[in-house]
Structure 1
Amino acid sequence: MRLTNVSFRYRRRDQSVIRDVNAQASPGDVIELTGVNGAGKSTLLRLLAGLLTPTTGTIADRPAVVGLAPDRFPTEQPFTVARYLDHMARVRGGARWRPWAERLTMQHLLDVRLGELSKGSAHKVGLAQALMGEPGLLLLDEPFAGLDADTRDALPPIVADLSARGVVVVASDHQGGLRGLPSLRHWSLTGGLLTEPAAPAEPVLEAPPVTVEVTVPAGEVAAFLGRMRAEGYAARELSEETR
């Protein structure tokens, strides 16, 4: 997969979130993507997945099957975990999710409704749905966030097995959970520019969350919230009672 002069901005007059990225990923590559909050990591993952189209430049030779595990798995759906995964398996032509549920130590969650899951448990569901389709490209957005110790230990061997089968894995990861893999590559995003450091950078520590109130014209609220959520921020419109 090759990225050539890839840039992206959400609106015509916006500043580019991703700027002039040139990079290549070969079968079996495992790539750790780092950068501070707001650097564009989630946007780059969505570009790699084909969910966003570059404003300029091209992404060529993307594998036919892509799995994406988002940082925040959407739990506002009226399913149990098993029913949701069964539904996704049918959508994907009979994909098998139960072996992945076993490896991710989530059998005890199968009868739990999605809306009742903790963030870490919901993240396991996101990982299972990303893995079940046997992707050629696996994209992981903060894959270790909120996971229990057993699943944290299980994930690096899963990634190593996929790499050995030629799967390209790109993980946006502040915690350095894949650092033990010998063939790990490193991409760093700073100001929308992508570099590949020769040695691993230290994990970027998350600062405590801060609530910021922003005033946006009424007609631009939906687009603004969409951009913020795409970057991984928790954004919502305040009701009259809470303003």
Structure 2
Amino acid sequence: MRLDGVSYRYGRRGPWVLREVDVELPEGGTVVVLGRNGAGKSTLLQLAAGVLRPSGGVVRERPSPVGWVPERFPADQPFTVVGYLTAMARVHGTVERNAIEAWIDRLGLAPYRGTRLGELSKGTAQKVGLAQALIPGPGLLVLDEPWEGLDAAARELVPEIVAEVVAAGGSVLVSDHRGETGRLPGAVTWTVADGTVTVGEAGGAGETAIIEIAVPAGDAEATVAALRADGHDVVGVRTTAGVRA
């Protein structure tokens, strides 16, 4: 898949979010999209997935089917978990009952089969979003902050799932602000800044410096959020009781 001169803005007179982006996602490749909050990462992912149409330029040779997982799953829908997954499978032109059940079991959704989407926690809803994207066996899997809101067990599954899609010949495009990039071996990066996209190796070029800072325990959560919003990887948070996150 290739983005040729792709530009985008919201509204005919809105500011340009992306300008003349030329990047390529090879078949069987993994790309991690990096950048600060508001830089245009989600816009780029939606253009790649076909959720948005470019204001200029064209997306060529998009693989099919596309599995799209937004950062926040739209849970305000009148479906149960199994009803939604069945409906989405039909949208993709197939109802693979075995595939539906396999992802329900693998993602720990079995206890919620008959639960309405609006009654799910954010993390459980995100698992439903991940399942619907994987059921058709995507040729292109697009994940916007896939680790966000997931429990530890589900977070461990994400790199495994990415590897399986790639091994089957699919391509994966994933945004990351949690510092999970290193868990996707072989990935390259697209860094979004000032409306442009720069291609590089996963983890960035050259050596990585780890800087430790100390803040009051009550400020830890806000500090981590601020650092990640600025595009930094947070390796861990520890207190006098040991590593916490």
Report the TM-score range of the alignment, normalised by the length of the smaller protein.
Answer: 0.7 to 0.9
**Cα distance in 1 between the residues matched to 2:117 and 2:150:** 16
Percent identity, aligned pairs only? Answer: 48
Partners of 2:148 and 2:83 in 1: how far apart? 24
TM-score when normalising by structure 1: 0.80
Counterpart-to-counterpart distance in 2, 1:173 and 1:166? 22
Q: Shift of the alpha carbon at 1:18?
A: 0.9
1:121 Cα offset (Å): 0.7
Aligned residues: 206
CA displacement 1:201-236 (0-9 Å, x = unmatched): 48xx6339xxxxxxxxxxxxxxxxxxxxxxxxxxxx
**Is 1:196 paired with 2:196?**
no
Kept in 2: contact 1:104–1:155 (CA 8 A): no
Which of 195, 201, 225 is the aligned partner of 1:206? Answer: 225
Quote how far apart the aligned CAs of 1:90 are: 2.5
For residue 197 of structure 1, report the CA deviation from its aligned partner. Answer: 2.6
1:74 maps to 74
Q: Does 1:107 align with 2:107?
A: no
After TM superposition, the score normalised by the length of structure 2 is 0.79
CA distance in 2, matches of 1:17, 1:120: 29
In the alignment, structure 1 residue 88 sits paired with structure 2 residue 91: no
Aligned counterparts, 1:1-243, within 5 A: 1-92=1-92, 93-95=94-96, 96-201=99-204, 206-207=225-226
Distance across 2 between alignment mates of 1:133 and 1:176: 28
CA drift at 1:199: 4.7
Secondary structure at the aligned position of 1:176 is classed as coil
Q: For structure 2, list consecutive stretches of 5 or more residues without a partner in the other structure.
A: 209-223, 228-245
Which residue identity lines up with residue 130 of structure 1 in the other structure? A
Structure-2 change in CA distance of 1:40 and 1:108 (3 Å)? same
Q: Against the structure 1 CA distance between its residues 183 and 194, is the aligned structure 2 distance closer, same or farther, given a 3 Å change threshold?
A: same
Q: Structure 1 residues 199 and 121 mapped into 2: Cα distance closer, same or farther (>3 Å)?
A: closer
- Residues 103 and 154 in structure 1, CA contact (< 8 A), matched pair in contact too: no
RMSD across aligned positions (CA): 1.7
State the alpha-carbon separation in 2 of the partners of residues 7 and 167 from structure 1. Answer: 25
Deviation at 1:106, TM superposition (A): 2.0
In structure 1, the residue corresponding to 2:158 is in which secondary structure? helix
Q: Secondary structure at 1:196's aligned position in 2?
A: strand
Contact 1:156/1:178, CA 8 A, preserved across alignment: no
Letter in 2 for 1:38: G
Say which SS state the counterpart of residue 14 (structure 2) adopts.
coil
Give me the whole-angstrom Cα distance separating, in 2, the residues matched to 1:178 and 1:98.
29
Structure 1 unaligned segments of length 5 or more: list them. 209-243
